[in-house]
A and B are shown apart, each in its own frame.
Chain A
């Protein structure tokens, strides 16, 4: 940047900082979390390395902004696409679509010289018309960038806005004038030039739309995703669209990671005021037993042990899939996790879940358990036979099901056994509460033996359940 006048430098800095701001927006949209403080750091480090060396700039920004390995990859990707876009507003094929430049010496898009050499611009008089007729690609690109800036093109959020913004760009580039000129030329009988101008105008329109599409891809990523994810959190899991499952899985993984981060940290709780005599003595032996250093008793916060019993029949299966997926992404913060699946009978699915990816796992489980009619009594009996001895005060038993046992014996007394041994029993029912107890639902017969009963049918509800599970651990 040295050598330029103070004014030039200021302008240059302003331009670069605009560029940097836009880049940060793109990165945020792609899912990199950037705080304001980090944005300021980004500016400082960009100033430290300068804007001239692109590789250094990229390294510097990556170091300041992206704080995990994944973020780094995303950011580098953003950086590359962003600068690819920044380089040219026009894509290559405009040159071929424009009428051939009049003088052969005029190179395609040769900067600067086009303006001077085109002379009369082949008879076109409007500024835009001249540029088009001269094939002044550099000038057109600059004009389009300017127009896009003025039209606020980076605010585009939805696909349907592409045409609107493209039109605004063209307006600002002087489309009206060009159109008047075309009409005038036709009136004057100069149809040949008018046709050529009209053709060029169409090509330019296409370019503007293409430009906006690229803008959309770059800048709307974040907003569109936020809207979708917000909706997905509320959507009824049992009616989830197949194509959303992949997206949902990512969402769950992110949520689980956030929760795990929050709860993996605190392991001890200080009990202020109670002296730990034994450790105080040990610590102060160096001082001849004079207690300079006091040690206070601390309580260990136990990780919760979870047993999850999931109904995998029919409508509940989808919710079960996501609950299991959620719990298994949380294995870091759970001391012990056992998953069971049931329908007509119950099996232990912990191993399957640990080994397989979640999609295969659900299929495998369904294969293993078959499609019998749901029998809660038999399933509870299986569970008690298999694992009741492992249930203790630290255990949280989660049962996920609609409690519709097809009028089989519900074996409520087994539920009582579990409740007496376990720390907590949480029943999650995908059905809304007014439907509980109707028809063959045994929900209210199990109710006395549940510490909590909740409707759970969306990701948002699932998240709440899991978070409560961790918050209330002791």
Chain B
């Protein structure tokens, strides 16, 4: 069954191209991870700083493989009924009320108590059938006929109990619903779990997953990412701003600017009609990149120096090319 998925991605290069087609500039390692995930039927645990495109990866994957994306956001207190399935209690209640007369009729016809019980049993099965089942993301993912990309976002925010519950699904791709029996995945979904490291995930979880760490991209890749996201940006400005952000990341800051901030900054600079970086301009737009007061003031002192450095480096890069 999964061979159709495998056919869609014959090689690691094909994945890189496919993702690029969706506007997601991947690294080779990211593509390898996807390649293996499909071949081995294993979930990928994606870790890394916020804003480096972990969630975006799932969207791009679903896009280029033409699979539905099912997203489940984790939070403290998330439990089976919200993640897996739930009975539609309201509907069940309503139906029993509406069907009360009908039920009464049926039961009146029964001659003995035993017969009445048998009839009631039949009704009971009707109320716990697919009709009254509300599938939640995990069950939906297992039921997709052509497979899907299941994104379990910020799995570290969920409780530990939920994490162990996930293990069953992620290792066998099946769950048991007491009233309906075991549900086996029609096609093994591509599962991506993301984590921001608010807590360490359990070893059992890590063992079952491929572990992908997406860090900050290098200058070349970051330029390509910004280029695809903000197509109007001038080549020279692009190079300068990426160099600036790259340098900024070497500073001792509380929250380093990530790719999403670089993209925002590029957009902001275009709105301001900037054609190249200037200390004044950088100073005024620094709040797009940095989110803490302390970071702003410490980076603010170095604006002039770092701007010139970025200008110098980017022109070197041009000459080298």
Contact = CB atoms under 8 A, between A and B. Distances in A.
A67 to B, nearest CB: 4
Contacts of B81: 293
Contacts of B47: 69
Interface string B123-141: 0000000000000000000
Contact of A287 (B44, B89, B199, B211): B89
B191 interface: no
A188 interface: no
A264 B199 contact: yes
Given A49-B12, A265-B199, A287-B90, A60 B207 contact: no
Interface string B35-48: 11001101010010
B160 A265 contact: yes
B77 to A, nearest CB: 11
Say what secondary structure dominates the interface of chain A.
helix
A367 interface: no
Interface in B187-221: 199-200, 202, 206-207, 210-213, 215
A271 interface: no
Contacts of A264: 199-200
Contacts of A292: 89
A48 B207 contact: no
B211 A66 contact: yes
Interface in A31-80: 35, 37-38, 41, 44-45, 48-49, 55-56, 59-60, 62-64, 66-69, 72
Nearest to B213: A69
Interface residues on A, range: 20 to 34
A63 B207 contact: no
B200 A41 contact: no
Contacts of B44: 63
Contacts of A266: 160
Contacts of A274: none
A288 interface: yes
A63 B160 contact: no
Q: Which residue, of A55, A60, A266, A292, has the highest number of chain B Cβ atoms within 10 A?
A: A60
Nearest to A268: B159
Contact of A63 (B93, B200, B212, B215): B212
A292 B86 CA distance: 12
Contact of A62 (B29, B39, B40, B160): B29
Given A264-B199, A266-B160, A287-B93, A72 B213 contact: yes
Given A264-B199, A266-B160, A41 B42 contact: yes
Contacts of A72: 211, 213
Nearest to B28: A59
Interface in A188-214: none
A45 B160 contact: no
A261 interface: yes
Contacts of A41: 40, 42
B93 A60 contact: no
B93 A288 contact: yes
Nearest to A38: B207
26 contacts: A41-B42, A45-B210, A48-B39, A48-B40, A49-B12, A49-B35, A56-B12, A56-B28, A59-B33, A63-B211, A64-B36, A64-B211, A67-B206, A67-B211, A68-B211, A69-B47, A69-B213, A72-B211, A264-B199, A266-B160, A286-B89, A286-B90, A287-B89, A287-B93, A292-B89, A293-B81
Interface of B: 12, 28-29, 32-33, 35-36, 39-40, 42, 44, 47, 81, 89-90, 93, 160, 199-200, 202, 206-207, 210-213, 215
**6 closest pairs, A vs B, by CB?**
A59-B32, A48-B39, A67-B206, A63-B210, A67-B211, A59-B29
Interface of A: 35, 37-38, 41, 44-45, 48-49, 55-56, 59-60, 62-64, 66-69, 72, 261, 264-266, 286-288, 290, 292-293
